[in-house]
Structure 1
Amino acid sequence: MVNQKKARWRKLDNAAKLYSAASNKKDTRVFRFYCELKEDVKPTILQKALDQTMETFPMFLMVLRKGLFWHYLEPCNLHPIVKEEYKEPCSRLYIKDKKNLLFEVTYYKKRINFEVFHVLTDGTGATEFLKELVTNYLYLAHKEEGLEQISMLPEDMTVQDQEDDSFLKYYSKEQRRPKEKKIHAFQIRKKKKDGHHLHVHESVVLVQDVLKRSRELGVSMTVFLTAVYLMAIHEEMSKMQEKRPVVLMVPVNLRKFFPSTSMLNFFNWIEPGYDFAKQDNSFEAILEYTKEFFKEQLTKEKMSAHISELLALELHPILRLAPLELKNLCIHAGAKFSEKNVTAIFSNMSVVKMPESYVPYIERFGVYTNTPKLELCLCSFQDRLSFAFTSRYDTENIERNFYRLLKEQGISSEEVKPVFPKPHVLSEQEMKVYKIYSFLCIALVAVMLVTDWNFHPQVRWTLFTAGGVTTMWIASSIGFFKRYNLLKNVMWQLFIGTIVCFIWDVLTGWHSWSVDLVLPIMSVATLAAMFVIAKVQKSPVREYLIYEIMAAGYGLILPMILLLCKKVKNPTVSMFGALICFLFLVGVILFKGKEFKEEMHKNLHV
């Protein structure tokens, strides 16, 4: 049992910073680890098992928040609820501005699914969580049959052990690997599946068959399967396409090189590639090359050098001070560019071990991930090795080639057709309604402009109508896209609303009403609205304080600048509005000083 101490807010590890910036609706950076039982899942028992598991893994009860320079993870009071599977596998878990847990537990028939955003943990952390969850479930379901309760984690493990950032722990300034010029790899360019839905192709083979053949060839299982994967991809290449090498990204669990019990991301990767235009295309030659590549790259020195290279970029003093949105753009662009260096991905999650008394209730474990490329994930349990190909391509030829090549090596596979319920995609319906609304607004504005151009009415009601519709569309669009966070929504309405009023004032001859009245009144009203929203939602101080500080700062600094520049004709309302905002900030410092300091530290950490 883990020694209990409440999880605290924490900075993102090196890999999590990449995932938080690079994830999007299509590339969700979510992966699924699941357990197929020999009996139907009972949801009420699974909920109890999940509640029990969360006591062991409190560091998973986190939400992702934005600071000025980096994202960070913060504890929350959200309670994870078990649901029957209801959406496409590995769908988005992190939705910008929405207060969501970064993992989800669902079930379908005999299957328990654990899906997690890669910001929260890696394959090792996900494996430990699922093992604990399944153990708790089976104990609750079968304790009357004499099944003993067993904890899967060391008794002396603490929450701080789970939250340890091992990247920083093993970072060394002195160790850097030499720069290598990367050549763009062959890219699979098949027609995407309709709707870009994730395609999952699963099969099972006997572990002993793969181990036996690997030993006969004098290589590890991973090396053997990597060579088969390279060859399976090559069979789909034309002579023209052979001018680029086939390169696989193979994640490496760094816990095998550096002692760590961390549940955060702690992995590296190597990129075995083969140039079929210049090298021998026989399986023996590919296998020998792969064997030597793994031997050369999988060393503690190489892994340490790569860690130092990644951390050096993150810790660069100039890059650390760049605003988060600028970092996100650069990281996203870098991730897209680096995709050209890799053809496909091969992730071996290794062996899943469970207590002997629990084994009879379990059919197998499986794993796969959302990916913009073709990815092969595998894990083994007992005598069964589960393969899962995922992609968004409208072809299964590489998968077919892979299993045929295995058969030629004396390894038979059994296809497992995963069954998924029909997904309920509410967000797509919402976006469709918004697009129809936007089209109607654009159409009305266009009609008003054409009418004004042709008829030149004495009172320019057409232009006023067009401007009114545009203003309404801007305000409602902010409300739509920021609907998950009402406090941020109100802040954006303040910012955009005052700018729109300023533009209206200028276009109608500048009567100063936008800065004399609208700016101070909206600032004070925003503070009041935020207070009411926070009370109704029962939000903790840390969730609303930063937005109230921003609104008060905006309502204080901007009117004071305008007053000093003598742009305000009637200063009374502006001065009283600025006074209220000033007193609010003073009150925050005096009565919420501790929370204020903590929020500033979290949002400004570099």
Structure 2
Amino acid sequence: MVNQKKARWRRLDNAAKLYSAASNKRDTRVFRFYCELKEEVRKELLQEALDQTVETFPMFLMVLRKGLFWHYLEPCNLHPVVKEEYKEPCSRLYVKDKKTLLFEVTYYKKRINFEVFHVLTDGTGATEFLKELVSNYLYLAHQKEGLEPVSMLPEDMTVQDQESDSFLKYYSKDQKRPKEKKTRAFQIRRKKKDGNHLHVHESVVSVKEVLKRSRELGVSMTVFLTAVFLKAIHEEMSKMQEKKPIVLMVPVNLRKFFPSTSMLNFFNWIEPGYDFSKRDRSFEEVLGYTKDFFEEQLTKEKMSAHINDLLALELHPILRLAPLELKNLCIHAGAKFSEKNTTAIFSNMSAVRMPDSYVPYIERFGVFTNTPKLELCLCSFEDKLSFAFTSRYDTVNIERNFYRLLKEQGITAEKVEPEFPKPQMPSEQEMKVYKVYSFLCLVLAAAMVVTDLNFHPRIRWTWFTAGGVATMWIASSIGFFKRYNLLKNVMWQLLIGSIICFIWDGFTGWHGWSADLALPILSVATLAGMFVIAKVQKSPVREYLIYEIMAAGYGLILPVILLLCGIVKKPMVSMFGALICFLFLVGVILFKGREFKEEMHKNLHV
């Protein structure tokens, strides 16, 4: 059992900061680890097993929140609910402004799926969670048959062990590695699949066959399969394309080099590449080069130097103080740029081991991930090595080449047809409705402009109508895109609403009503609205306090500035509004001082 079950808010590790900034609707940075049983999954038992598992891993019960300089993870009272699989594999789990867990457990027939956003954990953490979940489920399902409960984790492990940031633990600013100039890698250019959906192709081979052939060649399994993957890609290249090397990104579990029980991200990567235009094209030559590359790169010194490079950039004093939105733009652009340095991804999750008494109930384990590129993931269980190719390209030639090359090495693959239910896409329907609504608003506004240009009415009601439509569209668009967080929605409505009021006041001859009346009334109304929303939703203080502070600060500072600048002509309403906001801020400091200090620390941490 894990000691000290309460998890606290925490900063993101180095890899999580990249994933939180670079993820989007298509590149979700979500991966799936699954277990195929020899029996149909029972929902009620899986739910009970999940409830037990999250007690062992409380650090998974987190939501991603946004600070001024960095995202951070915070404990929540959300309860994970088991569902039958209902959407495309590795779909988005983190939706901006929506309070959701960063993992999901689903089932389909005999399969238990565990999908997780890479911000929360890496392959090692996901493996441990799924193993615990499967063992809890099988015990509940077969305890009457004499199956004994087995602890999958060390008894003395604590939540602090699970949450430790091993990147920071092993960072040393004194150690640097020489800068290496990277060349642009060959990119697979194929037409995307219809609808740009993720396609998964799986096969199973014998672990013994792969190990036997690898040992005959004097290399590890990973080196052998990397060389096969390089050759499989090369067979699809033209003479012109051979001018660029094939480069694979191969993740490396740093726990093999640095002792760590952390369930957070703690991995690195190497980039074995081969230039077929300058080197011998034989498999033996590719294999020998790959072996030498792995031996040179997979050293503690090289891994440590890479950690230091990554952390040095994150901890740079100027970059740390850059606003989060600016960081996100830079990280996203950097991630897109670095994609050009690799052709494909090869991820070996290694062997999954379960207690002997549980093995007879399990068919196999498998893993795959959402990716903008071609990716090959594999893991093994007993003598079954599961391969999974994922891509959005309209071709399976590289997979075909890969398995043919394996067959030439004496290894036969058994194709597996993964079964997925027809996905439900409510979000796509919502977006379609919004687009129709936006088009109708545009039609009405354009009609008013054309009417005005043709008939020139004495009272420009056409322009007022067009402006009203535009105002309605802006307000409703904010409501639509910020619908997952009502408190943030209201704050945005305050900001945009006050700007629109100033614009209307300016276009109608500037009577000053926007500064004298609209701004203070909107500010006070926003504070009251936030209070009602928080009470109705029964939100904890930490969730609504920061938005109320922002609204009160806005309602205090801006009217005072306008008053000092002489823009406010009738100050009575502005002064009362500013006074209410000031008293609110004083009340927060007096009665919610501890929560206020903690929220400021979380949102302003650098």
Q: TM-score, normalised by structure 2?
A: 1.00
Q: Which residue of 1 aligns with 2:183?
A: 183
- SS of 2:164's equivalent in the other structure is coil
Residue 454 of structure 1 deviates from its aligned partner by: 1.5
Q: Aligned to 1:261, what secondary structure does the other structure show?
A: coil
1:124-203 correspondence to structure 2 within 5 Å: 124-203=124-203
Aligned residues: 606
Q: Which residue of 1 aligns with 2:403?
A: 403
Shift of 1:93: 0.1
Partner residue of 1:326? 326
SS of the residue corresponding to residue 303 of structure 2 reads helix
2:6 maps to 6
Contact 2:163 2:262 in 1 (8 A): yes
SS of corresponding position for 2:385: strand
Which structure 2 residues correspond to residues 531-570 of structure 1 after superposition, within 5 A?
Answer: 531-570=531-570
Instruction: Look up the equivalent residue of 1:253 and give its one-letter code.
Output: N
SS of the residue 1:171 aligns to: coil
Question: In structure 2, what is the equivalent of residue 525 of structure 1?
Answer: 525
Residue equivalent to 1:86: 86
User: Percent identity at matched positions?
Assistant: 86
Q: Secondary structure at the match of 1:139?
A: helix
C-alpha distance in 2 between matches for 1:177 and 1:114: 37
Q: Which amino acid aligns with 2:416?
A: V
The Cα offsets for residues 528-577 of structure 1, whole Å up to 9 and x where unpaired, read as 00000000000000000000000000000000000111111110000000
Aligned pairs for 1:139-538 (under 5 A) are 139-538=139-538
Q: 1:4: Cα distance to partner? A: 2.5
5 Å matches for 1:58-97? 58-97=58-97
d(CA) in 2 for partners of 1:439 and 1:72?
38
CA contact (8 A) 2:170 2:304 kept: yes
Give the match's secondary structure for 1:31: strand
Q: Distance in 2 between matches of 1:175 and 1:378?
A: 33
Residues 345 and 374, structure 2, Cα contact 8 Å, conserved in 1: yes
Gaps of 5+ in 1: none
C-alpha distance in 2 between matches for 1:598 and 1:390: 42
Separation of aligned partners in 1, 2:27 and 2:535: 36
Name the residue aligned to 1:588.
Answer: 588
* Structure 1 SS opposite 2:65: strand
Residue 5 of structure 1: CA displacement?
Answer: 3.0
CA drift at 1:329: 0.1
CA-to-partner distance for each residue in 1:141-198, whole Å, 9 max, x for gaps?
A: 0000000001100000000000000000000111111101100000000000011100
Query: Is contact 2:223–2:291 with CA below 8 Å preserved after alignment?
Result: yes
Alpha-carbon separation, structure 2, partners of 1:278 and 1:124: 38
* Offset, 1:510: 0.3
* Partner SS state of residue 63, structure 2: strand
Distance between the aligned counterparts of 1:111 and 1:530, measured in 2?
A: 43
Task: Calculate the TM-score normalised by the size of structure 1.
Answer: 1.00
Structure 2: gaps spanning 5 or more residues: none
Residue deviations 1:90-143 (CA, integer Å, cap 9, x gap): 000000000000000000000000000000000000000000000000000000
What's the RMSD between the two structures over aligned residues?
Answer: 0.4
Paired with 2:100 and 2:4, the residues of 1 have a C-alpha distance of: 23
C-alpha distance in 2 between matches for 1:175 and 1:408? 45
Mapped partners of 2:334, 2:443: distance in 1: 38
1 CA distance for matches of 2:382 and 2:521? 68
Give the counterpart letter for 1:452 in structure 2.
D
What SS class does the counterpart of residue 87 from structure 2 fall into? coil
Q: What secondary structure is seen at the aligned counterpart in 2 of 1:594?
A: helix
CA contact (8 A) 2:14 2:310 kept: yes
Q: Distance in 2 between matches of 1:151 and 1:517?
A: 65
One-letter identity of the residue aligned with 2:462: T
Q: Secondary structure at the match of 2:36?
A: strand
Distance (Å, rounded) in 2 between the aligned partners of 1:323 and 1:174: 27
Preserved CA contact (<8 Å) 2:86 2:422: yes
SS in 1 for 2:572: helix
CA distance in 1, matches of 2:26, 2:9: 28
In structure 2, distance between residues paired with 1:186 and 1:450 = 52
Q: Distance in 1 between matches of 2:445 and 2:70?
A: 40
